[in-house]
């Protein structure tokens, strides 16, 4: 029998925390919980979790800071942020800090379980994908999330590596934002905000892989279609 997936739930509202614990135990997870930021951080840094479900507003230490500190130690740690429904700017900032996904409260438990399973599938599936991507003088190893250009080392987030893997695996075919949201993010369908999420990640990727991010030659926009990755030299 395969090992149970380990989940850390950091949530200060007791009914939600207990509800999440029950829900994921029911779905076969091993669940640990923390009711405040400092406890959550301590557990995240000392334990081994397949995924962290992280509330944004927490006593002692907010979810953004916690996410940041966890990423500083292990940038591949899968994290899903739980946010207030209207927190548009917060969501964007959370994604910038590298959360793998976010779920707005109040959430449907079915949706949350699907999102968790999608993130876990991707983090496991990533190893099966194209491991090494060559982009001119830049070589990106998507397993250890590191790019090398000469002696320069460039860190990539798990999400960025997954985008590159997906585009590289499609050999120069343009891929739509909707397809990226479905295949890389695991969304069932897109919304305006989520399409913008793709663009934000593409912009971040260009700053890492392009010689001139303002004039991209590798990760190009195909007008009205989406994005294409050129792995061959033009």
List residues binding Ca ion (CB under 5 A).
12, 55, 57
Respond yes or no on whether the N-terminal peptide bond of residue 106 is cis (omega within 30° of 0).
yes
**Cβ closer to Ca ion: 9 or 219?**
9
Cα torsion 168, 162, 149, 223: sign: positive
Q: Which is closer to Ca ion, CB of 17 or CB of 122?
A: 17
Q: Which is nearer to Ca ion, 35 or 220 (CB)?
A: 35
Instruction: Give 23 or 154: the residue with its C-beta nearer to Ca ion.
Output: 23
d(CA 142, CA 163): 10
Q: How far is the CB of 56 from Ca ion (least distance, A)?
A: 7
Report the nearest approach of Ca ion to the CB of residue 78 (Å): 20
Q: How far is the CB of 38 from Ca ion (least distance, A)?
A: 14
| C-beta neighbour count of 108 within 10 angstroms | 9
Nearest approach in angstroms of CB 46 to Ca ion is 22
Q: How far apart are CA 32 and CA 47, in angstroms?
A: 10
Q: How far apart are CA 48 and CA 58, in angstroms?
A: 21
- In degrees rounded to 5, what are phi and psi of residue 181? -65, -35
């Amino acid at each position: 029998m395969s090992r149970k997936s380990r989940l850390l739930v950091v949530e200060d509202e007791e009914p939600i925390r207990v509800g999440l614990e029950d829900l994921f135990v029911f779905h076969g997870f091993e669940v640990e919980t923390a009711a405040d930021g400092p406890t959550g951080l301590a557990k995240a840094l000392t334990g081994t979790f397949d995924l962290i479900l992280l509330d944004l507003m927490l006593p002692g230490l907010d979810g953004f800071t916690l996410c940041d500190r966890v990423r500083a130690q292990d940038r591949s740690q899968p994290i899903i942020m739980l946010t207030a429904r209207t927190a548009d700017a917060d969501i964007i900032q959370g994604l910038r800090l590298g959360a793998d996904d976010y779920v707005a409260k109040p959430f449907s438990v079915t949706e949350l379980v699907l999102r968790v399973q999608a993130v876990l599938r991707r983090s496991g599936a990533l190893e099966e994908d194209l491991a090494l991507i060559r982009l001119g003088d830049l070589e990106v190893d998507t397993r250890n999330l590191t790019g090398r250009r000469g002696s320069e080392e460039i860190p990539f987030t798990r999400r960025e590596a997954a985008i590159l893997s997906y585009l590289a695996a499609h050999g120069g075919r343009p891929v739509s934002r909707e397809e990226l949201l479905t295949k890389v993010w695991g969304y069932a369908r897109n919304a305006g905000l989520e399409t913008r999420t793709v663009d934000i990640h593409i912009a971040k990727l260009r700053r890492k892989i392009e010689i001139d991010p303002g004039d991209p030659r590798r990760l190009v926009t195909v007008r009205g279609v989406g994005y294409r990755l050129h792995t061959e030299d033009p």
